[in-house]
A and B are shown apart, each in its own frame.
Chain A
Amino acid sequence: EYSPFSGIEKGAVLQEARVFNDPQLDSRRCSQVITKLLYLLNQGDSFTKTEATEVFFSVTKLFQARDIGLRRMVYLIIKELSPSADEVIIVTSSLMKDMNSKTDVYRANAIRVLCRITDGTLLTQIERYLKQAIVDKNPVVASAALVSGIHLLQTNPEIVKRWSNEVQEAVQSRAALVQFHALALLQQIRQNDRLAVSKLVTSLTKGSVRSPLAQCLLIRYTSQVIRESSMNGQGDRPFYDYLEGCLRHKSEMVIFEAARAITELSGVTSRELTPAITVLQLFLSSSKPVLRFAAVRTLNKVAMTHPMAVTTCNIDMESLISDQNRSIATLAITTLLKTGNESGVDRLMKQITNFMSDIADEFKIVVVDAIRSLCLKFPLKFRTLMGFLSNILREEGGFEYKKAIVDSIVTIIREIPDAKESGLLHLCEFIEDCEFTYLSTQILHFLGIEGPKTSDPSKYIRYIYNRVILENATVRASAVSTLAKFGAMVDSLKPRIFVLLRRCLYDNDDEVRDRATLYLNTIGGDGSVVETDKDVKEFLFGSLDLPLANLETSLKNYEPSEEPFDIRSVSREVKSQPFAEKKAAAKKPTGLGAPPAGPASAVDTYDKLLLSIPEFSTFGQLFKSSAPVELTEAETEYAVNVVKHIFDKHVVFQYNCTNTIPEQLLEDVTIVVDASEAEEFEEVATKPLKSLPYDTPGQTYVAFEKPEGVPAVGKFTNVLRFIVKEVDPSTGEAEEDGVEDEYQLEEFEVVPADYMLKVGVSNFRNAWESLGPDFERVDEYGLGPRESLKEAVSTVIDLLGMQPCEGTEVVAANSRSHTCLLSGVYIGNVKVLVRLSFGVDSAKEVAMKLAVRSEDEAVSDAIHELVAN
């Protein structure tokens, strides 16, 4: 096959590049050589520093030539070579000359090249020209300057921010793309000034924005403004009319952007959704795959929150199941799974069964996940859905796919008790012929937990023991453990299990034999029916409360000697960032009907973290950790937020600090807290942060003592104190000497809500009755004029920090009264229930009746005091 570049070789091309130095330049030849160099770079070849420098210097000679084509190639290669600062100086004057040339192509490109390779110092020299270029009458030149501005804003914001007058002028440009680029830059210059962005949106949504791209951008800004102003929302949403108007734009790009924006509005009503759904539905039957995909993907997202709104599209969705593009088909299926009602499940599953055989694993995983959610939504349909899952489990498939199915079955077993027995049997059948060791061991472990609790545990033994006979050592070892669990939990099975375990003593693998020996000796009795000691069970099957990574390091460091390895020597400090853990926790799918699982696990994480710090280990049980409160504005040098940990007699403030300056290393970071406005608190300990490198979050702590069990409140002023050291960005090494410095942080308060745990109750009425009227306190309060009933309700909920029950936090639009049920646990582990009745009159005066029941009279009174203040 012929290629102009066949047999091309870097060394030879670099030789050829000498033509750049010829006194009589051959522009065509030079262009060809540059193309070859670019080809090499594009294919992934790289030049050494010397080679790049050499090419760069000879390329600079080409500025003598007047051939436009060649000049364009010169611009390209300069950008690709990304010269160092001292090299940039060589071409600066040539490029500045081009920036002021009469040829527009030169000007536009020279601006882009110069801005790409320049650093801050040079920028001030050319700033004047760039400002002129922004308002240049040639749109290509103006766009080049504006786009360069967008890039430069990342590195030199203070300079680019000075251009806002020119950018503002460019927003009015008649050239469509100039307007788009100007709009993008202007918003970024002003992104921290909400009012300015809001004004910008107000003026532009009235005027005419020309290009579809600019229109899309404006829609995005509008959504942001709506998001930020939605807190005081009552009546019509601001700018909704504009978004809806965009649904009738002539460009599909804009229509879609607007439809998507509407579906993503927070708390969108079905009336607001309808026009957006209508246009998306039209897109579903478009001949263009991209349009169908975009529409079905958006509807799929809507179906998660507003399934009813999407049901109108179900017929179109069903026809998409046979779409050529499998991504579209999969999205259609999963949307249908979300919007379908209980009676349609069977029919839908039939359609899916045909569909599953001809799609790739990655799509199947998506479908499996959707089926799991469906099963949790309609628990009565578990037979059909479990049957489907077990069928696909038997078919061919890769590891990820099988894992998704197994995970789904496990979730369903956990959530739907009726599904347990059949689910476990499906899993048993699966491990009879499972090629994935990981899955086999996971299932065996799960069987060990769930199997003994079933009505007839003995029927699983056969499947488990088969593993001991047939599988590899890893699976055999887990099968032995599972057998032992059955033996320990089900006393009647013990003699038979012992027979099986004894056979494992002759296994040819050490681990399998060791496990069998251990279990035989600890589970107790010599095979007779006796109850296994609780401590033994805890020791054998309890969870290990050590970070595994720490255990691994300790084991690696352990040198075989007379002294046995002591597990107590393993550090309990969790090394990984709590942020990462929190993220992981947030990602976990929380089953329906189990809302409090999320926050509880966060407390758990913090609890372990705090206990591992010696200074705080005596504080006892952690009662509550607040959500992080930001103490700095976005995009400042140092980002700090605080988490308030409440203990019975103490509070610990955990300051999460991030250093956003690459050239700095902070050391000995502490927070100086002024608690003069928090009289009941007394500082007892601080834990400074040794070093805070760039972009690696670190924590420092300050602990206060407070009267026991008392919900003390107060205001805290904070200063970040540290030693700052300069870091050389190229080597990453910090200088020896540092300078002490301070950084003022915002203040925060410990509020009564910090002493209240959000704990829901499943049946408020029952809970209310069972607490009884002994410590009930009822009073009425006038809340004065409020923006809306909704706002008043959410303010009171936030003030109390309690968990709204039975969906009563949602206030119907235009209602004149509302009842809200709250539940929580107050410090000292006192259960509290609150019934709030709100009423509003025509002057928006809100009145509230507050009824509290709790286990303690004092607490009931305390809740009233909270509100009274």
Chain B
Amino acid sequence: MEFCPSVKNILLLDSEGNRVAVKYYSDDWPTNSSKEAFEKAVFTKTQKTNARAEAEITMFDNNIVIYKFAQDLHFFVTGGDDENELIISTVLQGFFDAVGLLLRDNVDKKEALENLDLILLCLDEIVDGGIILETDANVIAGKVATHSMDSGAPLSEQTISQALATAREHLTRSLLR
């Protein structure tokens, strides 16, 4: 594992430092309280910086944390202090852009929570157990958004209510756009 570029965690927090979605891949934070303490510390340390146009970076407890903000969402990716900063930054950018695509550019906390399933799937497609799976935002979003029926499934398995719900969702989404 020592050579392979690795990610220690990915955090998506709101503008008060609360969790929207987080994923840890390292044993550095074994308990929930240690995780929360890390999030709080990172959030406090970075909240006053302006990380909107370009991703920003800081060192923290022998880790490098790269972060970027959009509206009331704060994106963080953490790596070990001997990791290549630009690799971590690429992961952050992939995550950031993929979320943008999945939320159709309405990148804010409300939208993120309403589509939490997409966010969680997105995290799942970017890193697996610390190893980078994919960093291209289009590919990530593409993999997450394959929300269709399995080709083998007969149409009859869709209940009427399900079909209606899907239709309603499509309608609202097109209106909102």
Q: Which residues of A are at the interface with B, using a C-beta cutoff of 8 A?
A: 1-5, 24, 26-28, 31, 34-35, 38-39, 42-44, 46, 65-69, 71-73, 76, 102-103, 105-106, 112, 116, 140, 143-144, 147-148, 150-151, 154, 177, 180-181, 184, 187-188, 212-213, 216-217, 220-221, 224, 252-253, 256-257, 260, 287-291, 293-294, 297, 324-325, 327
Q: Once bound together, how far apart are the Cα atoms of A327 and B32, in whole Å? A: 28
Since A39-B116, A42-B22 are in contact, a sample of 10 more A-B pairs with Cβ atoms closer than 8 Å, ordered by chain A residue number, is A38-B117, A42-B19, A76-B124, A116-B129, A150-B1, A184-B3, A213-B135, A221-B3, A253-B86, A325-B57
Q: Once bound together, how far apart are the Cα atoms of A325 and B124, in whole Å? A: 31
B27 CB contacts on chain A under 8 angstroms = none
Decide yes or no whether B151 CB sits under 8 A from chain A. Answer: yes
Q: Once bound together, how far apart are the Cα atoms of A184 and B131, in whole Å? A: 10
Q: Once bound together, how far apart are the Cα atoms of A46 and B129, in whole Å? A: 20
Q: Once bound together, how far apart are the Cα atoms of A65 and B157, in whole Å? A: 8
A213 CB contacts on chain B under 8 angstroms = 5, 87, 132, 135
Q: Once bound together, how far apart are the Cα atoms of A460 and B120, in whole Å? A: 65
Tell me the smallest distance from the CB of B142 to a CB of chain A, in Å.
10
Closest to A328 in B: B57
Closest to B31 in A: A44
Closest CB pairs A-B (n = 5): A66-B153, A294-B85, A44-B32, A66-B150, A253-B86
- The listed residue (B3, B19, B90, B162) touching A26 by CB distance below 8 A is B162
Closest to A288 in B: B54
A66 and B86 form a contact (CB under 8 A) = no
Closest to A112 in B: B128
A43 and B19 form a contact (CB under 8 A) = yes
- The listed residue (A102, A212, A290, A325) touching B151 by CB distance below 8 A is A102
- The listed residue (B84, B90, B143, B150) touching A140 by CB distance below 8 A is B143
Closest to A221 in B: B3
B90 and A253 form a contact (CB under 8 A) = yes
A73 and B117 form a contact (CB under 8 A) = yes
Interface of A is mostly: helix
Closest to A46 in B: B32
A253 and B4 form a contact (CB under 8 A) = no
B129 CB contacts on chain A under 8 angstroms = 116, 147, 151
A256 and B85 form a contact (CB under 8 A) = yes
B55 and A294 form a contact (CB under 8 A) = no
How many B residues have CB within 8 A of the partner chain?
A: 56
B151 CB contacts on chain A under 8 angstroms = 102-103
28 of the cross-chain contacts (CB-CB < 8 Å) are A3-B109, A3-B110, A26-B159, A26-B162, A28-B165, A35-B116, A35-B120, A65-B157, A66-B150, A66-B157, A67-B149, A68-B146, A69-B147, A76-B124, A105-B146, A140-B143, A143-B134, A147-B131, A150-B1, A177-B133, A177-B134, A188-B3, A213-B5, A257-B84, A290-B56, A291-B85, A325-B57, A327-B57
Q: Once bound together, how far apart are the Cα atoms of A224 and B90, in whole Å? A: 24
Closest to B92 in A: A290
B114 and A31 form a contact (CB under 8 A) = no
A293 and B150 form a contact (CB under 8 A) = no
B172 CB contacts on chain A under 8 angstroms = none
A290 and B55 form a contact (CB under 8 A) = yes
- The listed residue (A2, A69, A105, A260) touching B143 by CB distance below 8 A is A105
Decide yes or no whether B58 CB sits under 8 A from chain A. Answer: yes
Given contacts A177-B133, A177-B134, A221-B3, contact A289 B57 (CB under 8 A): yes
Given contacts A44-B36, A140-B143, contact A293 B57 (CB under 8 A): yes
B121 CB contacts on chain A under 8 angstroms = 72-73, 76
A177 CB contacts on chain B under 8 angstroms = 133-134
Q: How many A-B residue pairs have CB under 8 A?
A: 158
A217 CB contacts on chain B under 8 angstroms = 3-5
A256 and B3 form a contact (CB under 8 A) = no
A260 and B150 form a contact (CB under 8 A) = no
Given contacts A3-B113, A76-B121, contact A294 B153 (CB under 8 A): no
Max chain B CB contacts within 10 Å: which of A65, A105, A293?
A293
- Please report which residues of chain B, range 143-177, place their CB below 8 angstroms from some CB of chain A when the two chains form the complex: 143, 146-153, 157, 159, 161-162, 165-166
A294 and B84 form a contact (CB under 8 A) = yes
Q: Once bound together, how far apart are the Cα atoms of A392 and B36, in whole Å? A: 34
Q: Once bound together, how far apart are the Cα atoms of A445 and B52, in whole Å? A: 51
Q: Once bound together, how far apart are the Cα atoms of A610 and B147, in whole Å? A: 69
- Per-residue CB proximity of B82-126 to A under 8 Å, as 1/0? 001111011000000000000000000110011011001100100
B114 and A4 form a contact (CB under 8 A) = yes
A147 CB contacts on chain B under 8 angstroms = 128-129, 131, 133
- The listed residue (B3, B84, B150, B162) touching A253 by CB distance below 8 A is B84
- Per-residue CB proximity of B32-64 to A under 8 Å, as 1/0? 100110000000000001100011111100000
B5 CB contacts on chain A under 8 angstroms = 213, 216-217
- The listed residue (B32, B59, B86, B161) touching A291 by CB distance below 8 A is B86
A290 and B150 form a contact (CB under 8 A) = no
Given contacts A147-B129, A290-B57, contact A24 B159 (CB under 8 A): yes
- Per-residue CB proximity of B1-41 to A under 8 Å, as 1/0? 10111000000000000010110000000001001100000
Max chain A CB contacts within 10 Å: which of B55, B59, B66, B135?
B59
Tell me the smallest distance from the CB of A214 to a CB of chain B, in Å.
10
Max chain A CB contacts within 10 Å: which of B113, B131, B159?
B131
Max chain A CB contacts within 10 Å: which of B113, B117, B129, B135?
B117
A287 and B113 form a contact (CB under 8 A) = no
B146 CB contacts on chain A under 8 angstroms = 68-69, 105
Q: Once bound together, how far apart are the Cα atoms of A257 and B87, in whole Å? A: 9
B109 CB contacts on chain A under 8 angstroms = 3
A297 CB contacts on chain B under 8 angstroms = 85
